[in-house]
Amino acid sequence: MATVTTESLASLQSDLAETLRAADLKVADELFAAVDVMDTSASLRRSLTDPSREPAERAGVVRRLFGDKAASTTVAVLEAVASRRWSRARDLSDAVETLAVTTVAAVAERGGLHGLEELEAQLLGFRRTVSESHELQRALADGQAPDEAKQKLAARLSPQASSEARLLIDRTVTAPRGLRPAALLARFAEQVAARQHRWIAQVTVAKSLDGSNLEKLSTGLNRYFGRELRLDVAVDPRVVGGIRVQVGDEVVDSTMAGRLNSLTRNITS
pLDDT in tens, 208-257: 888 888 898 888 888 888 888 888 888 888 877 778 888 887 888 877 66
* The model's pTM: 0.82
Tens-place pLDDT, residues 98-144: 999 999 999 999 999 999 999 999 999 999 999 999 999 999 999 89
- DSSP, collapsed to helix, strand or coil, labels residue 58 as helix
Per residue in 38-74, pLDDT tens? 999 999 999 999 999 999 999 999 999 999 999 999 9
Q: Which long-range contacts (CB under 8 A, 24 or more apart) does 20-25 make?
A: 20/77, 20/99, 20/102, 20/103, 20/106, 21/106, 21/109, 22/73, 23/73, 23/103, 23/106, 23/107, 24/107, 25/103, 25/104, 25/107, 25/163, 25/164, 25/167
DSSP of 64-101, one letter per residue?
A: HHHTTTS-HHHHHHHHHHHHS--SSHHHHHHHHHHHHH
User: Cα(55)–Cα(51) distance, rounded to whole angstroms?
Assistant: 8
Domain-by-domain residue ranges, the chain?
A: 3-196, 206-268
Judging by DSSP bridges, how do beta strands 200-205 and 243-247 pair with one another? antiparallel
